[in-house]
Amino acid sequence: MNRIRLEPLTEQYVQAYFAAFSESITRYQMAEPFQTPEETRLYFRTLSERCASGCSLAFAVLCENGFCGSLEAHDLFSPVPEIGIWIAEEFRGNGIATEAMRMLIETLTRQGHTRFFFETVERNESAIRLVERFRHRKLPGAPETVVTASGKTLRLIRFTLF
């Protein structure tokens, strides 16, 4: 039996997402924390449209204590969809991310996908450890340096999971 469950990321999770999606979560992401619950709600609406079109999946990661984070898959019409995850700090270090990623990969595999794209920054050690728990290959090349709209400099590394 799973310790967690995945449910579609719907507007019922806006407040929990807003509260947990903090600067400590986004320091390694292109995204920034939402400034208001309404900004979060607008993001959910856009994401919901992508899910309805079939090009994305988005899940709330839930455990016995409630909302733990989110898990997404994008570019589902491509041969190698992109997957991403974030887990709230208070739930890290106990295998929730690994279990959630495994559940997502199993879902996508049932839909016919065999490889997955995962991107993180080179100093995000927890994301790299997560990837290393799966069959993976680091894509060749130097990390790509990007600067976000807010001025964060990120050095992105990419992996294929299979």
> Residue 27: is its pLDDT beyond 70?
yes
Arithmetic mean of pLDDT, 20-48: 94
**Residue 84: its pLDDT value, please?**
97
pLDDT at 152: 93
pTM, to two decimals: 0.93
The pLDDT value given to residue 136: 97
Q: What is the pLDDT of residue 138?
A: 96
**What are the helix (H) ranges across the chain?**
14-20, 23-26, 37-53, 96-110, 125-132
**Residues 96-130: pLDDT tens digits?**
999 999 999 999 999 999 999 999 999 999 999 99
- Mean pLDDT confidence for 138-149: 94
Q: Where residue 2 falls among pLDDT bands split at 50, 70, 90? A: confident
Greatest C-alpha distance within the chain: 43
Contact 122, 144 (CB under 8 A): no
- Cα–chain-centroid distance for residue 152? 19
Question: pLDDT band for position 1 (50/70/90)?
Answer: low
The tens digit of pLDDT for each residue in 53-93 reads 999 999 999 999 999 999 999 999 999 999 999 999 999 99
Mean pLDDT of the chain: 95
- Tell the burial category of 24 from Cβ atoms under 10 Å away from its Cβ (0-12, 13-18, 19+): exposed
